[in-house]
Amino acid sequence: MTKVIVVADMFSADYGGGAELTTDAIISYASNPHQISRRHCKLLTLEEVRNNKDAHWVVCNFATLEDHMKVFFCKNLSYSIIEYDYKLCAHRSLEKHLAITGQECDCLTTTPGKLNKAFYGYAQNVWFMSEKQRSIFLDKLDILKAEKTHVLGSIFNRGNLRFMKSIKNNPKDEKYLILGSQSWIKGTKECTQYAQDNELEYEVISGLPYHEMLIRLSTAKGLIFRPLGDDTCPRVVIEAKLLGCDLKLNEHVQHKDEKWFKDAQGIPEYIESQMLHFWGMYE
């Protein structure tokens, strides 16, 4: 097996966000996950990367990766990128950029944007969360070659998939759940308004430990998730699908029309096949 080092701004021990949970799940599918090293972007040094030039580096969220490190990666290392959002934009969302500045995103014309463009272009592989996300990157980045891009999607470890299977037949109430979030893109206020406009009984949830949140989803009638900007492959939507919820989504849920998502029964098998494809590149 090629030595693999996973680099990220944070891991799930630091923050239990969707990207971090997916990163951990991806590592769990390696033939020997204990041999996969993890490094935080902000703690990475040139000495360390020079000493590991024989490794393949898998770069996840990299907002805190210093510019000189990106240059070194481009020139010297074998690396792949797992792209969870839109780091071609300083706001990590083209819609948020427009909402804040009143102008379409022009981040790729800036010096940091040009460096990020090269960072994507020199990667051995770039893994995306959805077909729509991949299409937008290919449209925006002429340096990115289609044959080096793949759609991975959000990944769940086997234990959490088994847990969701064990609770999916829980009795359901009449409430639709809405995620309570301070994040602009999640659109909590707008989701609440949607529920009121459509006379849906709803409950806003936030801060629940992960398995408690899954249990609550399993007992809810549905999920209202209507983000204000493109959300590449939101885990909560997949969790709700696996737990038999009625889904009230909008066009910004980028994976919602993909074939694998249509049948909840086939999602675990799809994730397994995606992980065989991913680790087949490096093992």
Tokens 């990020």 correspond to 116
Count of positions (residues) in the chain: 283
CA pair distance 206, 195, nearest whole angstrom: 17
What tokens does 66 get? 């210093």
Whether residue 81 sits in one domain with residue 142 = yes
pLDDT digits (tens, 9 = 90+) for 124-148: 999 999 999 999 999 999 999 999 9
Kindly state whether residues 56 and 84 are assigned to the same domain: yes
Q: Which two tokens stand for residue 151?
A: 């759609």
The confidence score (pLDDT) of residue 75 equals 97
Alpha helices in the chain (DSSP H): 18-28, 46-50, 67-76, 94-101, 111-121, 131-140, 158-167, 188-197, 210-218, 235-242, 267-280
Q: How confident is the model at residue 35 (pLDDT cuts 50, 70, 90)?
A: confident
253: DSSP letter? B
Q: Are residues 138 and 197 in the same domain?
A: no
196-221 residue pLDDT tens = 999 999 999 999 999 999 999 999 99
Distance CA 195, CA 64 (A): 37
Number of domains present in the structure of the chain:
2
207 contact partners, CB below 8 Å, separation of at least 6: 180
Q: What is the pLDDT of residues 149-177, one digit of tens each?
A: 999 999 999 999 999 999 999 999 999 99
Is residue 87 pLDDT above 70, yes or no? yes
* Domain co-membership, 10 together with 88: yes
Residues 91 and 180 in one domain: no
Q: What is the pLDDT of residue 103?
A: 97
Can you read off the two tokens belonging to residue 281?
A: 């590149």
pTM for the model stands at 0.95
178-189 pLDDT, tens digit each: 999 999 999 999
- Same structural domain for residues 14 and 76? yes
What is the percentage of the chain residues whose pLDDT exceeds 90?
A: 96
What is the C-alpha radius of gyration for the chain, rounded to an integer number of angstroms? 19
Same structural domain for residues 151 and 164? no
pLDDT at 122 over 80: yes
Are residue 193 and residue 66 in the same domain, yes or no? no
Domain span including residue 64: 4-155+270-280
User: What is the average pLDDT value for the chain, to the nearest integer?
Assistant: 96
pLDDT tens-digit series, residues 40-83: 999 999 999 999 999 999 999 999 999 999 999 999 999 999 99
pLDDT of 16 higher than 90:
no
pLDDT, residue 34, reads: 86
| Predicted confidence band of residue 2 (pLDDT cuts 50, 70, 90) | confident
CB 96 within 8 A of CB 229: yes
Of 271, 257, 218, 260, the closest CA to residue 240 belongs to 218
The three-class DSSP label of residue 57 is strand
Residue 174 sits in the same domain as residue 220? yes
The stretch 91-95 carries a mean pLDDT of 97
CATH number, position 97: 3.40.50.2000
pLDDT value at 1 more than 80: no
How high is the pLDDT of residue 174?
98
